[in-house]
Amino acid sequence: MSLQIKPPAAILFAVKQPSGSFLQSLRAECTWSTKDDISFLQATTANRNWPAIFGSSHHISCMSLLIVRCCFAAIFLATLLADLITDSLRRPFYFYFIYLTTLSFILQTVYFCFAVHVTFHARAVLAAGDHALVGDRPESLPWSVRSMALLWALCVPLSICICFTFWFLVDPFWNLDPDMPIDYFMLFQHGGNTVLFLVEFCISRNPWHLRYAIPFVAYAISYAIWTSIHFSLKIGVPSDKPCEAYELNDCPIYSVFDWHHPLRTVIVFAMLCVAGILIIACLWCAKRSLDKTAHGRRSIRRCELPQVS
């Protein structure tokens, strides 16, 4: 049996409505005025509202959001496991972990697993009715919420950037490589995942900030270092994915990240970082618009919470 409970107003409006002009919001982002914002690095007053911020939606009920995230997590997890097993039958398993796509897809799968856990926990906290804003004592996020927030900052721009990089640089859609078969795993990891993350972006209250460019750039630099280590150790690529220019153990992971030509590779990585920052900026504008629209309609959904005896 379930009881429909309307959370306190402080919980319902936990996600702060964008205020002021666009330039004022931009200035606040650039000056890191975060004392009233959710933060996964420091304790803030807004962190007390994490159940509503990460566990509810402007557009669907809490239960519906939980079901959507469960479905997404199941799809990602099933795809990851099936791809890993299939890949391991064809080649040494460690080659699976050299690619940017697969490393990022693992993070994306972990994000949705955390999202399911946080949404379920948020419903329980809201059902207890003891998490309304009382006082102004700063609070740190629970570790699971902090992990979800950090992965959120990484996974959305990564999924978009990898999608565009693959179809425009690695295997251009107008000149597809006949030796690179297009199957479900390729399509989902280079496009399908992006669609699901954009759905999550639109229906969730997850915050979005320009400073999310920092973990994105850090991740890009980390992968650039990994590709240089891969090149130095002559790990190469699987025998079923040879390159024409070099011996198998000298082949780069991706032809566009070829450390035989270091200057060109550094330029490509720099361009990808700039592209990622632009994507993050566009997402910030989109999220600001979505939040304003949602608050304007007062589209606040009740949480269908379990009855507490």
State the helix-helix crossing angle for 143-165 and 193-203, rounded to 10 degrees. Answer: 130
186 CB burial (10 A radius; 0-12, 13-18, 19+) = middle
- Is 137 within the bounds of a domain? yes
- Is 14 within the bounds of a domain? no
- Is 176 within the bounds of a domain? yes
Greater pLDDT, 128 or 195? 195
Q: Average pLDDT, whole number, for the chain?
A: 83
What would the pLDDT profile of 21-46 be if each residue is shown by its tens digit? Answer: 666 666 666 655 555 577 777 888 87
What would the pLDDT profile of 109-142 be if each residue is shown by its tens digit? Answer: 999 999 999 999 998 887 776 544 445 678 888 9
What would the pLDDT profile of 220-270 be if each residue is shown by its tens digit? Answer: 999 999 999 999 999 999 988 878 889 999 999 998 899 999 999 999 999
- Is 2 within the bounds of a domain? no
The pLDDT value recorded for residue 178 is 80
- Is 239 within the bounds of a domain? yes
Q: Name the least confident of 161-165, 230-234, 304-308.
A: 304-308
- Is 272 within the bounds of a domain? yes
Q: Which residue has the tokens 């090149």?
A: 231
Q: In the predicted model, what is the mean pLDDT of residues 153-164?
A: 95
What would the pLDDT profile of 49-75 be if each residue is shown by its tens digit? Answer: 889 889 989 888 889 999 999 999 999
Q: Name the least confident of 87-91, 211-215, 273-277, 289-293.
A: 289-293
- Is 223 within the bounds of a domain? yes
The answer to whether 112 and 67 are in contact (CB under 8 A) is no
- Torsion on CA atoms 144, 100, 164, 77, rounded to nearest 10: -50
Number of domains the chain is built from: 1
- Is 23 within the bounds of a domain? no
Measured between alpha carbons, how far is residue 177 from residues 98, 171, 180, 250 in Å? 20, 6, 5, 20
Q: Which domain holds residue 194?
A: 34-306
